[in-house]
């Protein structure tokens, strides 16, 4: 199987969008403390750049959740591989995600965190692929809405590769 990667969203566009998202989050959480929860591994680059732009009190934590395996489409079964280290009861949480695709993982994580007594759970995603949605879930803060393409770069992977690309690219299978 051979493929190429075509650039979709350039590094400069990502940087500008992150600054815009940070302004929205700061406006909404002014003088409030939040816990930013990154969903590993894809959110790491986005989360790192986003929290550097936030001038509000915050803590960070991570969860590792899987519904993919090594393929390019979700299995539909969500597994929590690593839970939060913080007690989230009565806390305001901001889930930071690289991409919302089917929505199954994010819906599961949001409901899981609410069941642990979180005061609120908001979602910030770099990419949203609404054409693939299988459940009703929406992001409170969205970077880019993209078409139904398999994308890599800036934290997103194809079988654990390409996370380090400084841009978002789509994987194009050669014929």
Average pLDDT for 21-28: 98
Q: Which residue has the higher pLDDT, 57 or 175?
A: 57
> If we measure between CA atoms, which residue out of 77, 41, 10 comes closest to residue 161?
41
The reported pLDDT for the residue numbered 78 is 85
Average pLDDT for 137-153: 97
At 79-126, the pLDDT tens digits run: 899 999 999 999 999 999 999 999 999 999 999 999 999 999 999 999
The reported pLDDT for the residue numbered 145 is 98
What percent of the chain shows pLDDT beyond 90? 87
Give residue limits of the domains in the chain: 11-149
Is it the case that residue 69 has pLDDT exceeding 70?
no
Q: What angle, rounded to 10 degrees, do the helices at 11-28 and 44-53 form?
A: 60
Q: How far apart are CA 167 and CA 45, in angstroms?
A: 11
pTM above 0.85, yes or no: yes
Average pLDDT for 38-46: 96
The rounded Cα 9 to chain-centroid distance in angstroms is 16
Residue with tokens 């986003």: 50
Q: How far apart are CA 163 and CA 46, in angstroms?
A: 11
* Residues with active-site annotation: 101
Average pLDDT for 131-157: 96
- For the chain, the average pLDDT equals 93
Q: How far apart are CA 86 and CA 61, in angstroms?
A: 7
Structure tokens, 109: 């994580």
Looking at the domain that runs over 11-149, which CATH code has it been given? 3.40.50.2020
């Amino acid at each position: 199987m051979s493929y190429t990667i075509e650039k979709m969203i350039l590094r400069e566009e990502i940087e500008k969008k992150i600054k815009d998202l940070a302004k929205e989050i700061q406006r909404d959480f002014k003088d409030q403390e939040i816990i930013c929860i990154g969903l590993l591994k894809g959110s790491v680059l986005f989360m790192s750049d986003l929290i550097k732009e936030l001038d509000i009190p915050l803590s960070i934590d991570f969860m590792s959740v899987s519904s993919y395996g090594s393929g390019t489409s979700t299995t539909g079964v969500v597994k929590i591989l690593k839970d939060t280290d913080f007690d989230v009861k009565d806390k305001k949480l901001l889930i930071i995600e690289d991409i919302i695709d089917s929505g199954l993982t994010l819906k599961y994580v949001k409901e899981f965190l609410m069941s642990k007594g979180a005061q609120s759970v908001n979602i910030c995603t770099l990419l949203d692929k609404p054409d693939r949605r299988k459940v009703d879930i929406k992001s409170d803060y969205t970077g880019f809405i993209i078409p139904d393409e398999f994308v890599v770069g800036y934290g997103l992977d194809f079988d654990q590769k390409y996370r380090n690309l400084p841009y978002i690219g789509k994987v194009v299978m050669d014929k």
